[in-house]
Amino acid sequence: MRLSDSMLPVGTYTASYGIEQYLNEDEIETADELGDLIEGYLRGVIGPAEIVALGHAHRSAAAGDLDEVLAADERLGAATLPAEFRDSSRKAGSKLLELLAETDDGTAGSAGRDAAAGDGVAGVAAVGGGTIGDIAVEGVLAEYAAACEAGRADGHYPVALGVVCQRAGLDARDAALVSAYGSVTALLAAAQRLGRFGHTAIQAQLSRLFPAIETVCDRYHDAAIDAMYSFAPLADAMGMRHERADRRLFMS
């Protein structure tokens, strides 16, 4: 199963990261408003926080530096304010590492080095590499998984994905595209499952967001960890209100 596949069984489909609350409070009425909101997520959270953490984890894993992977994990947790957002990220990261452990047969090499089918986000599904079982759980990836298991790291999904992508042979920019594309499609899918928008409208917004995905990944995939920030105050407030909402289909 490819790392960019929306069907990757890590539980990301259970999180809306505040989208549900926006819809419950009728803050989004049109597909264009939804697209604008998700572009705001890209530029205020996904890029400067998640992609920065992923890129730092990727580089640190390549250098064999577990401590810096853990630093990215800790800093991303600190930058993520709503408790439900942190919980969703930790659970998805944990499931990804568990999935790797369950499917590693000890014979896998580095998959994905020859998998890229094209440049940019349009080819990101192919960039995702081979099956999960093609990624050997060893080196920094194994050390990071052990640290998460022991409670020394939270295992946030972008950090786990960065380490896994590095092990799979993807470069940092491609790993960033996998992450950002997955985040955007998950947010769009959440809005669709809530019954407000049809398939055509969602696909139109996804196409519209491709340039923003690439711009954000180009800008942040190689940024220093000290550059990490998250600024989406209304999204944070919606996430916090969702924790106490009467109607909740999603865990965040």
> Looking at residue 223, which CATH number applies to its domain?
1.10.4190.10
* Residue 1 forms part of a structural domain: no
* Residue 73 forms part of a structural domain: yes
CB 82 within 8 A of CB 251: no
Nearest 10 degrees: CA dihedral of 22, 244, 12, 55?
80
Rounded Cα gap, residues 139 and 135, in angstroms: 12
Rounded to an integer, what is the distance from CA 244 to the centroid of its chain?
A: 25
pLDDT of residue 10: 72
* Residue 145 forms part of a structural domain: yes
* Residue 30 forms part of a structural domain: yes
DSSP 8-class letter at 128 = T
Rounded Cα gap, residues 61 and 36, in angstroms: 34
φ and ψ at residue 46, rounded to 5 degrees: -60, -45
Q: What domain range is 178 assigned to? A: 18-242
* Residue 227 forms part of a structural domain: yes
Rounded Cα gap, residues 43 and 94, in angstroms: 26
* Residue 156 forms part of a structural domain: yes
Instruction: Indicate if the alpha-carbon torsion angle 147, 152, 154, 159 is positive or negative.
Output: negative
**What pLDDT digit, counting tens, does each position of 157-179 carry?**
999 999 999 999 999 999 999 99
pLDDT of residue 248: 67
pLDDT of residue 24: 87
**What pLDDT digit, counting tens, does each position of 79-105 carry?**
999 988 899 999 999 999 988 877 755
Number of domains the chain is built from = 1
Residues of the chain short of pLDDT 50, as ranges, are 1, 107-117, 123-131, 252
* Residue 4 forms part of a structural domain: no
* Residue 170 forms part of a structural domain: yes
